[in-house]
Amino acid sequence: MSQITFGTSGWRAVIAEEFTFENVKRAVSGIARYVAAQKLASSQGNAARVIVGRDPRFLGETFSAMAVEILSAHGITPLIIAEPAPTPAISFEVIRLKADGAINITASHNPPEYNGIKFSTPDGAPALPEVTKKIEAEIAALNSDSDSGSVVAAPVPKNSQEIDPQPAYLARLKDIINLAAIKKSAMRIAFDPLWGAARGYCDTLLREAGIEVTTIHDTRDVLFGGHAPEPDDRFLSQLRETVRQTGAHVGISTDGDADRFGILDQDGTFISPNYVIALLFDYLVESRGWKNGVAKSVATTNLINAIARHHRVELHETPVGFKYIGELIKQDKIAIGGEESAGLSIRHHVPEKDGILAGLLCCEIVAARGKTLSSQLSELFAKVGSFYPLRENFRLTPEVKGTFTSKLEAQPREFFGRRISEVVRTDGLKLVFDDGSWVCYRLSGTEPVVRVYSEARSPAELKKLSAAAKQWIFE
C-alpha cells in the first residue's frame, strides 16, 4: 500500500494511479482521526466541525461526498460547500465560523489528471509540518481492512450542514480593496479564472462595484483547456488577446483553486510574480502606512530586500511553502508575504495564498497611481536598484542526482570565479555573491528534478549566472 505524504501544499497524485478511492478514504480517515483527537484533547464538549470544499476537477463531487461520509462516521460535523470554491474563501470561512479545519479536494495548479487534498487548521492556515506528520502517522496506523467510509458516494449524513463562503469572503475583499478608486479611474479589466474555482468571485465583485470587466473561460472544464490551470505566461495567450482587444488596463488570472495569480500589463506583458509582490509591498507601505514587516521565501527576489531596506522594514526570509508566511500573518508581523511561485497575502487577511486578492490589488495600484505596472516597476528599479530573477527546472539521472546531492551538502567558497559571501540553508542551498546576485538549488521531493533559482542585477549577468548554475549541476 502506497505511503501518503503531505508536501508543502497537501497531498497530490494522478487520478486512478495514486489518487484512488481507497487512498482518498485513507487520507480523509487520517485527517478525521487527527481532528477528533485534537478535539478530545481540548476538553471541549461540542462536536468538531470541518469544512469540506473542492475545486472543479474531475470526480471532485464524489471525493467530497466520501469525505463528508467519513467525517460524519467519526462524529465530526461536515460543513459542505456544494459548489467549487477558492482556497482563500475556504480559509476565510474556517476563521469566520471557528471551524476545526477544512478538507479541500484540489490539486491547485497541477495538470488536469491530478487531484489532491489540502488540510487547513482551525486558524485557516495550511497545515504545518508538525500537523501533517501527525496526520501521516494516523494514516499509517489505519488497518487496511477498516471500514472508514464507503468508496462510493453516499447520501449526505444527517449531521451535515451546507454553507456558502462567497458572501462573507467577497464582503471581506470589499473592506480590503479600494474599489472606489478603481471605479473612479474608469479602468477596464480582463479576468481569466482558467476554468477554475474563482469563477463568479473576482468578476462578480468588480461588476457589483460598477467596474467594467471582461471574463473568459467562465465554464466548467475538467480538462482546463487541455493544460494545467496555471496562471503562467505560457498559458495566458487568450487573456493577452482579450486585454488587447478590449483595451483593458490590467489582465488578471487565477489557478485551479484561486490561490495563485497571473498578471498582464495593459500591453499584454506578463509581470513576474516576483515583481508583483515587490510592487504591492512598496504600494502597501505607501498607501496603508504598513511598516510592520515583510516576508518572502528564500527563492523569491531580493528586490524585496532592497525595498525593505529603503522603507526600513523588517525582512523575514522563510523556507518555501506559504504555511511559514501564514504564521507571520497570523502574528501580524508582516504587511505582506509572498513567494515567487505566485502566492501572496497581506495583514488582517487569511494566512493563506490568495490569487483573487493579488489580482484586485494590482487593479488598485494601477488605478491609484495612474501608471502601468511596467512603468511603476521601472520607477521602483530607479529607486532601489534592478533585479532580474529566473527559475529553471532540470531533470536528473540517478547518477547525476547522487553526485549533485553530495555537492549540496558541501560548503563551497567559490562559484566559477565568483566569491561566495553567504551560504544560506533555509531551504535547499542558496549561494549569495559579493555583487548581490545569487543562485538557489532545491531538490524536488516528488520527482528527479532540481529547481534552480537565479538572480542578477542585469539581464546579461543573469544569462551568465544561469549558464554557470546549470554547469554546476552536471559538471
Q: What is the pLDDT of residue 151?
A: 40
Residue 233, C-beta contacts closer than 8 angstroms, at least 6 positions apart: 262, 270
Whether residues 431 and 353 fall in one domain: no
Q: What is the pLDDT of residue 160?
A: 83
Three cell numbers, residue 389: 530573477
Q: What is the pLDDT of residue 410?
A: 87
Identify the domain containing residue 393 by its residue range: 388-474
Residue 244, C-beta contacts closer than 8 angstroms, at least 6 positions apart: 267, 268
Total domains in the fold of the chain: 3
Q: Give the integer Cα–Cα distance in Å for 245 and 249.
A: 11
**Block residue for cell numbers 487547513:** 120
Whether residues 276 and 264 fall in one domain: yes
Whether residues 174 and 278 fall in one domain: yes
Residue 177 lies inside a defined structural domain of this protein: yes
Among residues 384, 410, 442, which one ends one of the domains? 384
Residue 1 lies inside a defined structural domain of this protein: no
Whether residues 370 and 305 fall in one domain: yes
Q: Tens-digit pLDDT profile for the chain (475 aa)?
A: 678 988 767 899 999 999 999 999 999 999 999 999 998 888 666 889 999 999 999 999 999 999 999 999 999 999 999 999 999 999 999 999 999 999 999 999 999 999 999 999 999 999 999 999 999 999 999 865 454 444 444 455 567 899 999 999 999 999 999 999 999 999 999 999 999 999 999 999 999 999 999 999 999 999 999 999 999 999 999 999 999 999 999 999 999 999 999 999 999 999 999 999 999 999 999 999 999 999 999 999 999 999 999 999 999 999 999 999 999 999 999 999 999 999 999 999 999 999 999 999 999 999 999 999 999 999 999 999 999 999 999 999 999 999 999 989 988 889 999 999 999 999 999 999 998 999 999 998 778 999 999 999 999 999 999 999 999 999 8
Q: What is the pLDDT of residue 149?
A: 42
Whether residues 319 and 184 fall in one domain: yes
Q: Give the integer Cα–Cα distance in Å for 337 and 330.
A: 11
Three cell numbers, residue 247: 483595451
Whether residues 150 and 35 fall in one domain: yes
Whether residues 96 and 149 fall in one domain: yes
Whether residues 366 and 467 fall in one domain: no
Residue 3 lies inside a defined structural domain of this protein: no
SS (H, E, C) the chain: CCCCCCECCEEEEEECCCECHHHHHHHHHHHHHHHHHHHHHCCCCCCCEEEEEECCCCCHHHHHHHHHHHHHHCCCEEEEECCCCCHHHHHHHHHHHCCCCEEEECCCCCCCCEEEEEEECCCCCECCHHHHHHHHHHHHHCCCCCCCCCCCCCCCCCCCEEECCHHHHHHHHHHHCCHHHHHHCCCEEEEECCCCCCCCCHHHHHHHCCCEEEECCCCCCCCHHHCCCCCCHHHCHHHHHHHHHHCCCEEEEECCCCCCEEEECCCCCEECHHHHHHHHHHHHHHHHCCCCCEEEECCCCCHHHHHHHHHCCCEEEECCCHHHHHHHHHCCCCCEEEECCCEEEECCCCCCCCHHHHHHHHHHHHHHHCCCHHHHHHHHHHHHCCCEEEEEEEECCHHHHHHHHHHHHCCCCEECCEEEEEEECCCCEEEEECCCCEEEEEECCCCCEEEEEEEECCHHHHHHHHHHHHHHHHC
What dihedral angle (degrees, nearest 10) is formed by the CA atoms of 362, 366, 368, 370? 170
Helices 459-474 and 398-409 pack at an angle, to 10 degrees, of 110
Whether residues 160 and 262 fall in one domain: no
Q: Residue 338's domain is classified under what CATH number?
A: 3.40.120.10
Whether residues 155 and 197 fall in one domain: no
Q: What is the pLDDT of residue 40?
A: 85
Counting Cβ atoms within 10 Å, is residue 381 exposed (0-12), middle (13-18) or buried (19+)? middle
Among residues 333, 368, 384, which one ends one of the domains? 384
Residue 29 lies inside a defined structural domain of this protein: yes
Main-chain dihedrals φ then ψ at residue 431, nearest 5 degrees: -110, 120
Residue 5 lies inside a defined structural domain of this protein: no
Residue 6 lies inside a defined structural domain of this protein: no
Three cell numbers, residue 302: 531580493
Q: Please, how many CA atoms are within 13 Å of residue 221, restricted to the half-sphere of its CB? A: 15
Residue 469 lies inside a defined structural domain of this protein: yes
Confirm if 94 and 207 have CB atoms less than 8 A apart: no
Q: What is the pLDDT of residue 42?
A: 81
Whether residues 146 and 32 fall in one domain: yes
In Å, how far from its chain's centre is CA 252?
15
Confirm if 9 and 57 have CB atoms less than 8 A apart: no
Whether residues 354 and 421 fall in one domain: no
Among residues 116, 147, 164, which one ends one of the domains? 164
Residue 154 lies inside a defined structural domain of this protein: yes
Q: Residue 415's domain is classified under what CATH number?
A: 3.30.310.50
